Amino acid sequence: MPTADGNELDDLLRRCARQDASALQALYAHAAPLLLAVLVRMLGTRAAAEDALQDAFIRIWQQAGQFDRIKGRAMAWMVAIARNRAIDLQRARRPTVLLDAAELAAAEQLRVEGPAENVEFDAAHAALRRCLELLGGAQRQCLLLAYQRGLTQERIALAIGQPLGTVKSWVRRGLQSLRACMES
């Protein structure tokens, strides 16, 4: 990921709010490859992810005026828009996502590499990784399948062959522990 300054992205969003299409193009150049990576992982196919990417940028354009200008949150805001689009699309289609054993194992692994030479990101990522590693394997797997693959708790239960109630309690305890760890 190119390491554009957060303020620069905030500024581009402000220009989008004033209907400056060149600012959206600059945001696209910076953020589209990352958002597409998120969407491919959530939607499973390149074609669906590309369509969702297009929808996400149209929303970014239309909703830029509502962007809450908390300094440096532009990327978090855009990722949320893309994720929400993917979640809507997933909920609208039939549950066809079946994960194989390798994918399930991968959900327990944490990617360690981040954007090169981005100290701020490295610190945030290291903290999250450390806290996720402190969770039990099953809790971590549930949280990652939900966040990265966009699976509902019902689909997670199907995918890992556990009762829904068990998955729900793993998710709840996992989130509690994660918050406690990241706030400490």
Partner 1 sequence: MNYERPELLDRLAAEYVLGLLRYGARARFERLCGERPPALAARQRWEDRLLPLSLALAPVTPDAGRWSQIERAIDATSAGGAAPRPPAAARRWWPLALAAGLLAIAVLVGRLTFWSEPAWQPVALLAPANAAPLWRVERSADAAQIKIRTLAPVTLGAAQSYELWVLPSGGGNPVSLGLLPRQGGLERRLTPTQRSLLLAARQVAVSVEPAGGSPTGLPTGPVVIVAPIARAT
Binding segment (CB under 8 A) for partner 1, from list 4-12, 97-105, 140-148, 157-165:
140-148
Q: State both tokens at 170.
A: 């793993």
Contact in structure between 67 and 24 (CB atoms under 8 Å):
no
**CA separation for the pair 153, 140 (Å, rounded):** 13
Please select the residue that binds partner 1; options are 4, 104, 106, 128, rule is CB under 8 A. 128
CB of 135 vs partner 1, minimal distance in Å: 13
Kindly report the number of other CB atoms within 10 A of residue 90's CB atom.
21
Which residue pairs, CB below 8 angstroms and at least 24 apart, start in 118-126? 118/1, 118/3, 121/3
Residue 113, exposed/middle/buried by CB under 10 A (0-12, 13-18, 19+)? exposed
Report how many residues bind partner 1 under the rule CB under 8 A.
Answer: 64
The stretch near partner 1 (CB under 8 A) out of 4-12, 68-76, 97-105, 157-165 is 68-76
Q: Which stretch binds partner 1 (CB under 8 A): 4-12, 67-75, 96-104, 157-165?
A: 67-75
**DSSP secondary structure code for residue 65 in this structure:** G
26-65 mask for partner 1 (x: CB under 8 A)? --x---xxx-xxx-xx----xx-xxx-xx--xx--xx---
Judged by beta carbon, residue 100 or residue 157, the one nearer partner 1 is 157
The verdict on 129 binding partner 1 (CB under 8 A) reads yes
